[in-house]
Amino acid sequence: MKIVPHLIFVTITLFVISAKKLHAQKAGNEIFKETCSACHTVGKGKLIGPDLANVHNHLTLDYFTKFVKSSQSVIKSGDKYADSIFNAYGKMAMPDHPQLSEEQIKSIYDYLKEASGGGAEEAIPEEELLPGDIERGRALFVGNLRFTNSGASCNSCHNVNIAGLITGGALAKDLTQSVTRLTETGVAGVIKGLPYPQMKETYAMHPITPQEVADLTTFLVYVDEKSAIKTGNYTGNYMLLGGGGGIVFLLSLYSFFWFKRKRQAVNKSVFSRQIKSA
């Protein structure tokens, strides 16, 4: 009868080990979804960053860990590979992930390996982008229309340059040519996936609905195309923006003065923050 406690012990140990293993795998998958999938797919092609299927074939865990923690530090260290891929992706910097432990990064690495081998079953399902509306997108962007879940308007941080008027803040990147930089899918991915901490903070508790993502993306595609007109290679219908004129004009004028007043200090603080994190 002595064997019973032993059996119980072995069973419990086995259970704990397998539960831990299961947990680690699940964590890799989940961390990837939360932290990386706005910019990367596994086997579904390039998004903002490269497709990470089979990344284990050309990156060791050690290199992967350093890169995910801070790709810019790897680039600055003079690493040729990191520099070439940075240039290949239009010098779009991947954000640092100081919040991830080595163990968590390893679980992502393991997940990627598994998901590449096992085919698409673990891949994130691609959602079709709904048809969007330029005017609604613009109204949401500048704050003339409230978000369903009352998130802040985009122009509290971002500027877009439409019809030569400055309409927004300088806390974050100008989005006039975001579609050229990231592609339409990429822009939608950012608005949906919130890969940047500042945006996540703003919208995590106030989710942007799929329709709003579509409207904003459509607006940004429009702004991007329109900005190309100025360089003379697009002959689209840009009188469309004429509608709704007066209010937008006044608002823009207002933001213009606000922008001028704030611009230097804010830019400077963003600049020094970037220098610090670089």
Provide the binding-site residues for ligand HEC, judged by CB under 6 A: 35-36, 38-40, 48-50, 52, 55, 59, 64, 67-68, 71, 85-86, 89, 92-95, 97, 108, 152, 154, 156-158, 171-173, 175, 178, 181-182, 187, 190-191, 195-196, 198-199, 202, 208, 216
Between residues 52 and 221, which has the closer beta carbon with respect to ligand HEC?
52
Q: Nearest-CA neighbor of 209 among 122, 251, 146? A: 146
d(CA 218, CA 134): 6
Please state the separation of Cα 89 from the chain's center in Å.
14
Shortest gap between Cβ of 130 and ligand HEC (angstroms)? 15
- Nearest approach in angstroms of CB 265 to ligand HEC is 16
The b/e string for 206-229 (b: 16+ C-beta within 10 A; e otherwise) is eebeeebbbbbbbbbbbbbebbee
CB of residue 11 vs ligand HEC: minimum separation in angstroms? Answer: 36
CB closer to ligand HEC out of 39 and 214? 39
Q: Nearer to ligand HEC by C-beta: 13 or 209?
A: 209
| Min dist. Cβ of residue 108 to ligand HEC (A) | 5
Which among 114, 118, 122 has a CA at the least distance from the CA of 21?
114
49 or 132: CB nearest ligand HEC: 49
Other C-beta atoms closer than 10 Å to the C-beta of 135 total 17
229 Cβ neighbours under 8 A, 6+ residues apart = 235, 236, 238
Identity of the residue, 224 or 241, whose beta carbon is nearer to ligand HEC in the bound complex: 224
Q: Compare residues 2 and 276 and give the one whose CB is closer to ligand HEC.
A: 276
Shortest Cβ distance from residue 236 to ligand HEC (Å)? 21
Who contacts 78 (Cβ-Cβ below 8 Å, separation ≥6)? none
Query: In which residue are the tokens 């106030």 written?
Result: 206
Query: By C-beta, is 13 or 26 nearer to ligand HEC?
Result: 26
Q: What are phi and psi of 95, to 5 degrees?
A: -65, 150
**Smallest gap from residue 76 Cβ to ligand HEC (A):** 11
Q: How far is the CB of 10 from ligand HEC (least distance, A)?
A: 37
Q: How far is CA 108 from the centre of its chain?
A: 18
